[in-house]
Protein backbone atom coordinates (compact mmCIF):
# COMPACT_ATOMS: atom_id res chain seq x y z
CA UNK A 1 0.00 0.00 0.00
CA UNK A 2 1.41 3.34 -1.03
CA UNK A 3 1.20 6.19 1.44
CA UNK A 4 1.01 9.73 0.17
CA UNK A 5 2.52 12.55 2.15
CA UNK A 6 0.27 15.56 1.93
CA UNK A 7 2.71 18.40 1.81
CA UNK A 8 1.54 21.82 0.77
CA UNK A 9 3.16 23.06 -2.40
CA UNK A 10 2.50 25.93 -4.70
CA UNK A 11 0.16 23.98 -7.01
CA UNK A 12 -1.72 22.19 -4.23
CA UNK A 13 -0.96 18.98 -2.40
CA UNK A 14 1.26 16.25 -3.73
CA UNK A 15 -1.79 14.04 -4.37
CA UNK A 16 -3.53 16.87 -6.26
CA UNK A 17 -0.53 17.18 -8.54
CA UNK A 18 -0.45 13.43 -9.19
CA UNK A 19 -4.17 13.34 -10.01
CA UNK A 20 -3.76 16.35 -12.28
CA UNK A 21 -0.88 14.68 -14.08
CA UNK A 22 -2.85 11.46 -14.47
CA UNK A 23 -5.84 13.33 -15.91
CA UNK A 24 -3.63 15.17 -18.39
CA UNK A 25 -2.00 11.90 -19.43
CA UNK A 26 -5.37 10.25 -20.02
CA UNK A 27 -6.61 13.25 -22.02
CA UNK A 28 -3.47 13.27 -24.16
CA UNK A 29 -3.71 9.53 -24.80
CA UNK A 30 -7.38 9.71 -25.78
CA UNK A 31 -6.67 12.70 -28.02
CA UNK A 32 -3.75 10.91 -29.72
CA UNK A 33 -5.96 7.89 -30.46
CA UNK A 34 -9.24 9.64 -31.25
CA UNK A 35 -8.02 12.38 -33.59
CA UNK A 36 -6.63 10.08 -36.33
CA UNK A 37 -9.72 7.86 -36.08
CA UNK A 38 -11.98 10.89 -36.40
CA UNK A 39 -10.10 12.21 -39.43
CA UNK A 40 -10.26 8.79 -41.08
CA UNK A 41 -13.99 8.69 -40.36
CA UNK A 42 -14.46 12.08 -41.98
CA UNK A 43 -12.58 10.94 -45.08
CA UNK A 44 -14.74 7.81 -45.34
CA UNK A 45 -17.87 9.89 -44.85
CA UNK A 46 -16.74 12.16 -47.67
CA UNK A 47 -16.43 9.14 -49.92
CA UNK A 48 -19.94 8.04 -48.94
CA UNK A 49 -21.23 11.55 -49.70
CA UNK A 50 -19.63 11.46 -53.15
CA UNK A 51 -20.79 7.96 -54.00
CA UNK A 52 -24.10 7.89 -52.15
CA UNK A 53 -27.25 8.05 -54.20
CA UNK A 54 -29.91 7.43 -51.58
CA UNK A 55 -31.17 10.63 -49.91
CA UNK A 56 -31.70 8.87 -46.57
CA UNK A 57 -28.09 7.62 -46.55
CA UNK A 58 -26.78 11.09 -47.38
CA UNK A 59 -28.67 12.69 -44.50
CA UNK A 60 -27.41 9.96 -42.14
CA UNK A 61 -23.80 10.52 -43.24
CA UNK A 62 -24.16 14.29 -42.77
CA UNK A 63 -25.43 13.78 -39.20
CA UNK A 64 -22.52 11.45 -38.46
CA UNK A 65 -20.04 13.96 -39.88
CA UNK A 66 -21.43 16.73 -37.66
CA UNK A 67 -21.16 14.41 -34.66
CA UNK A 68 -17.53 13.58 -35.48
CA UNK A 69 -16.64 17.28 -35.85
CA UNK A 70 -18.27 18.07 -32.49
CA UNK A 71 -16.33 15.16 -30.95
CA UNK A 72 -13.04 16.45 -32.35
CA UNK A 73 -13.71 19.89 -30.89
CA UNK A 74 -14.61 18.48 -27.46
CA UNK A 75 -11.61 16.16 -27.35
CA UNK A 76 -9.21 18.95 -28.25
CA UNK A 77 -10.81 21.40 -25.81
CA UNK A 78 -10.57 19.01 -22.84
CA UNK A 79 -7.02 19.93 -21.83
CA UNK A 80 -7.56 23.72 -21.91
CA UNK A 81 -10.74 23.24 -19.87
CA UNK A 82 -8.87 21.16 -17.27
CA UNK A 83 -6.10 23.77 -17.11
CA UNK A 84 -8.67 26.53 -16.65
CA UNK A 85 -10.43 24.58 -13.89
CA UNK A 86 -7.12 24.15 -12.08
CA UNK A 87 -6.56 27.90 -12.00
CA UNK A 88 -9.89 28.47 -10.25
CA UNK A 89 -8.69 26.96 -6.94
Q: Is residue 45 part of a domain?
A: yes
- Per the domain annotation, does 15 fall within a domain? no
Query: Does some domain include residue 1?
Result: no
pLDDT above 80: residue 47: yes
Q: Which domain holds residue 44?
A: 28-88
Per the domain annotation, does 13 fall within a domain? no
- Global model pTM greater than 0.85: no
Tens digits of residue pLDDT in 23-42:
888 888 988 999 999 999 99
Would residue 54 count as lying in a domain?
Answer: yes
> How many structural domains compose the chain?
1
Return d(Cα 1, Cα 27) in angstroms, integer: 27
Amino acid sequence: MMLFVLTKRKGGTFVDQQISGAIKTVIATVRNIANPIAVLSLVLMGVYLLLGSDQQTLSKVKRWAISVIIGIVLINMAEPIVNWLQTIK
